[in-house]
């Protein structure tokens, strides 16, 4: 069951919502615009608020659904965590995109909501405040990701969940390495909705 849960999670995570919907509905390949990323932030910048929010929700749902399927199939904390990891890996290393993809923030939030809802709520609020205050989605995402294992530990969640938080945080931060470089150089772009 663990194997099938992880395989299902990987394929769900691999669905490139931003790319496929961008091409199908708006006739735009997100890889050719802005940050060239297929995620919600680039969709927001390139296509506008509505498309950006839609892609965020669909990517979020991939993570949440992956954990729900794992819970239904196996129900153990370890398998649910592994499914979450594979969903994020699928989003970031999609089989449909020659093992390339997004940064896994929205999908990761979907996983965390299913595993640790209170932690997810607090992390999302921190992310939202930082985005409003700084205008930098990347900075908010990095800070929010780093908070997950800390809050999981404080909240008394199982070790598997805390370990997942730590691994996911490291993964998100590594995926943002170019953004970190731009933040340090003062060249990172602030969030602004596009009107394609």
**8 Å CB contact between 24 and 173:** no
pLDDT of residue 195: 57
**8 Å CB contact between 5 and 79:** yes
The one-digit pLDDT tens for each residue of the chain (196 residues) are 889 999 999 999 999 999 999 999 999 999 999 888 899 989 998 999 999 999 999 999 999 999 999 999 988 999 999 999 999 999 999 999 999 998 888 999 999 999 999 999 999 999 999 999 999 999 999 999 999 999 999 999 999 999 999 999 999 999 899 999 999 998 888 887 665 5
Of 21, 9, 11, nearest to 110 (Cα)?
Answer: 9
pLDDT of residue 192: 75
pLDDT of residue 117: 95
Give the Cα separation of 41 and 120 in Å (integer). 19
pLDDT of residue 34: 84
The secondary structure of residue 158, as a DSSP letter, is -
pLDDT in tens, 45-90: 899 999 999 999 999 999 999 999 999 998 899 999 999 999 999 9
pLDDT of residue 35: 83
pLDDT of residue 119: 94
Give the Cα separation of 174 and 195 in Å (integer). 30
Average pLDDT, the chain: 93
pLDDT of residue 196: 56
Q: How many residues does the chain have?
A: 196
pLDDT of residue 185: 92
């Amino acid at each position: 069951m663990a194997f099938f849960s992880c395989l299902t999670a990987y394929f769900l995570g691999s669905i490139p919502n931003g790319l496929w919907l961008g091409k199908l509905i708006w006739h735009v390949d997100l890889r050719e615009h802005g940050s060239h990323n297929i995620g919600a932030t680039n969709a927001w910048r390139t296509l506008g608020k509505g498309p950006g929010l839609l892609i965020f929700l669909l990517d979020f749902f991939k993570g949440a659904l992956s954990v729900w399927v794992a819970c239904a199939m196996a129900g153990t904390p370890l398998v649910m965590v592994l499914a979450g990891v594979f969903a994020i890996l699928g989003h970031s290393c999609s089989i449909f995109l020659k093992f390339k993809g997004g940064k896994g923030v929205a999908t990761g939030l979907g996983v965390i909501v299913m595993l640790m809802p209170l932690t997810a709520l607090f992390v999302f609020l921190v992310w939202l405040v930082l985005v409003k205050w700084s205008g930098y989605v990347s900075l908010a995402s990095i800070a929010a990701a780093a908070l997950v294992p800390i809050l999981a530990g404080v909240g008394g969640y199982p070790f598997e969940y805390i370990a997942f938080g730590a691994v996911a945080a490291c993964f998100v931060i590594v995926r943002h390495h170019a953004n970190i470089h731009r933040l340090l150089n003062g060249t990172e772009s602030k969030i602004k909705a596009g009107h394609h």
